[in-house]
Structure 1
Amino acid sequence: MSTKIDIYTKRRRGRIVNGMFTAACFLATISCVLVLLVLIWNIILQGKSWLSWDFIESLPSRFPEKAGIKTALWGSIWLISLTALFSVPLGVGAAVYLEEYAPRSRWRKMIQLNIANLAGVPSIVYGILGLGLFVRALAFERSVLSGALTLTLVVLPIIILASQEALRAVPDSIRRSAYALGATRWQTVWYQVLPASLPGIMTGVILSLSRALGEAAPLLVVGAMAYVPFVPEKLSDEFTALPIQIFNWTSRPQEEFHHLAAAGILVLLVVLVSMNAVAVFVRHKYGKKIRW
């Protein structure tokens, strides 16, 4: 009888602890969401009256009523487009090699460990590396190309890890079935494994590029300008970006520039939410077509 009572007491205590832990996690989540909503609402109140099509189409100016975000917006578009062009093929290719082709050896474990460590390196370190390698050693100067290559270094380990997780999620039965039908390893990877892992890969890519879009520290190190009076037209042009332009406005003493910074944050949020919406759409669309 005492043994049954002890078991019942332990189960009851376990349920109580589990309920308390669940409640604590729920309260932490709600607190974070509320703080985020308060911040976003405050930004909307400050920036909505300054947000207009003229604001998006105007060049930067020392006069708040004439200042716009065109050069920073197009600079960010240039950076993200080039970063995606460089990082996605390299990252996905490296993940495919490590998961599908590389033998299980100490060399592979060492590479995997280094990639995991690089994913946690602060972005400012990559900025210093980009300054020394792209700006000075390769003489790309303080150009859009240098900024995009630096951001590629920032997001490449994250894309590799996310792609590896997506490839690992594909059941081995798909691979074995393809081999049983006479497919080569390349045909199995290209026609079976990659399509099945595409939603996870695309989600990781979009989230990584979203992080790159909000980076300011590495771009400042490689020489992004706070004021650029023209839209970049080639890879060697100087550039600015949305986070840098927002930082520049927030550092001004005039209250009007602070409202402009809030409007710039709203533009950046719209771009980020759009990119994340693409990731959700891709996962939803291709997830329906895949039945394991």
Structure 2
Amino acid sequence: MQLSITNRKTLGVLSILGASIMWAIEPIFAKLSYETTDFLNTFATRTIFCLAIISIYVFFTNKKKFIVKREYLPKLIYVSLVATLFADLMYIYALTKVPVINAVLIGHMQPIFIILIGFFVLKQDKITKFDYYGILFMILAGVLVITKTLENLLMLKFGTIGDLYVLFATIAWATTAIVARKYLKELHAGLIAFYRFLFAGIIFIIYMIAFKGIEITSIYQVLIGIVIGIGTILYYEGIRLIKAAQVSALELSTPFFAAILGYSILGEYITLMQFIGILFLIKGIYFLSKKENL
């Protein structure tokens, strides 16, 4: 059934908003999971239940099921190993060291690296003045969030090692986003999501079974996988239905959801400078999206 333009936009907006809520819930469940287990078990069960959710979705929505052409496999393997085995694992580990708002906001600086990699490495994208403004505001946003207070900023206390781990993860995610957009456009959204977790999941689960074992000690280990599975599906469906600029703008709801949930559930408060940082992030995304008509 063909969707009208209005219905496509509405469904796309709801999908991205739903994904944003899932991204905000993930670090909350991760931190609750750490109360009874470590980040390795959390990551293992996250991957298992995420794959289960995505597999069900692909089975019922993709006529070709799980089959892809051989030419796509190298790109899918890269996305899986870099986005999941490296970046996701780094992010989950970083959450043992940083507040939710730090992790979420630094993670949303991904557009900076997509632009810079596209320009300097791929030699494809042209950087406009709006890109420069956007990058500047997003860098300032990151500085405000990781320093937290004016005193820390004046003393040049730029965050912790955990913030750096999230930054590494963000750069890695940016490279896989470029690969997915450039080489995997023709694939079913659910298939990209499935293979994103499959290869990394096989490697990591074999490692865990061989050297550590997998234990489920709390419901949050299960819920985090379900949340990420649903969020990934909603995100990939959303980017099919609405423009990239609209996706970027809607994703900015994630830091707000994360700040509210972090405070109400974990008791993590945000400082005035961190709130200003969130506003700077919004302004940065506005400039990065300005060259595309909404």
**TM-score above 0.5:** no
Q: With a CA cutoff of 8 Å and minimum separation of 6, indicate the structure with the bigger relative contact order.
A: 2
Q: Which has the larger radius of gyration?
A: 1
TM-score normalised by the chain length of structure 1: 0.27
